[in-house]
Amino acid sequence: MASTSHRALRLLSLLEPRRRWPLRDLAARLEVSERTVRRDIDTLRELGYPITTVHGPDCGYRLDPGHTLPPLLFDRDQALAVAVALQTAPSTVFGLEDDTARALATLHQVMPDELRASMESLRLTRLRNYWEFPAPPIAPSALTAVGTAIRHRHVLVTETLRADGTRPAPTDDDFEPARRIEPHHLVVWAGRWYVVAYDLADDQWRVHRVDRMRPRPTTHRFAVREVPDNDLAHFVMSSHDRGDTPADWPCTGTARLNLPAHVVAHWAPGGSVVEDLDPEHCRLTLGAWSWAGVAGILATFDTDLTDLHPPELIEACRRLAHRWGTATKPTSPATDDPS
């Protein structure tokens, strides 16, 4: 009976993410006969899962959506994935600490002993990488508004916010008028949520920080467009004007690099800003815990640096150059002690 229950649980986990499974493929994945798969399908139906038989030359089964299901069942890997996701979600979405804690407690109560022990071993301590500075958590309402617009293909009207979440007044220098965009994809990178969207004002693709947006939904639908870069992650990382702002580090400096903006944007750490100067040059603003740290990151781009600011950064570069120069000098051979 335990083997049958375990197999039925695996069968259910296979049916959930896919629209339809051919019978022979299910039998192959479960390493049982097609007759056994049919019996397990009947078992799941008796438990209330709405599994439909798909007729035709390549018959199979699918789990219908939109029905009230019995309590969800997770296999071991699914339960651990949910536990990890619940513990990492509050770092990027504001106000979920209590909700995720309650969800973890509920999941913990219904897990078998073996899974509960595995979950306990995955209780995470959140550490911050010194070279990555995630954005402040975003409001669930903004994330929901953007996600819903993507799902329904509805145009969004967005207002650009400052880094502190305030909206500039029309008389302020950093004020930008509201824009109409077609949101196509959500991407998470370096602890930041970005939306890849087609801007209707200037007819081009752009990347927007969701935490820097105040989205207003509309009912105006748009057609799917082909994203200019088939690799969404590459498109986001190589977009220098994605709305990033300098992170709050103890030391922040700038330099002019002899590299294109899209190259530097791809490899710059989170919390840095890349400004496009011309096709072959850009300005990078970044921070670190020390001036030597800022200089060290700049050195990783392996290109000429000019127009450095502030003076503390220039002095740090001189100190590092001296240290590196000393390190490359050949050491004197040891001499025998005549005594």
Q: Which domains does the chain have, with CATH numbers?
A: 2-63 (1.10.10.10), 76-121 (no CATH), 140-237 (no CATH), 251-326 (3.30.70)
Average pLDDT score over the chain? 82
pLDDT tens profile 163-177: 777 888 889 888 889
8 A C-beta contact, residue 94 and residue 136: yes
DSSP string, 106-117: HHHHHS-HHHHH
Strand partners, 287: 252
Alpha-carbon distances of 100 from 84, 90, 94, 194, 231, rounded to whole Å: 11, 8, 11, 22, 31
In this prediction, residues 122-147 reach a mean pLDDT of 67
Alpha-carbon distances of 224 from 114, 195, 227, 242, 262, rounded to whole Å: 46, 15, 9, 21, 25
Query: What pLDDT is stored for residue 128 in this prediction?
Result: 47
DSSP state of 26: H
pLDDT tens profile 215-265: 999 999 999 998 887 788 888 888 888 888 777 789 999 999 999 999 999
The helix or strand, by DSSP H or E, that contains position 263, with its residue range, turns out to be helix 261-267
Q: For tokens 């903006």, what's the residue?
A: 261
Alpha-carbon distances of 214 from 63, 128, 194, 236, rounded to whole Å: 37, 27, 13, 20
pLDDT tens profile 291-333: 999 999 999 999 999 999 999 999 999 999 999 888 877 766 6
Query: What pLDDT is stored for residue 121 in this prediction?
Result: 55
Is a pLDDT exceeding 60 seen at residue 68?
no
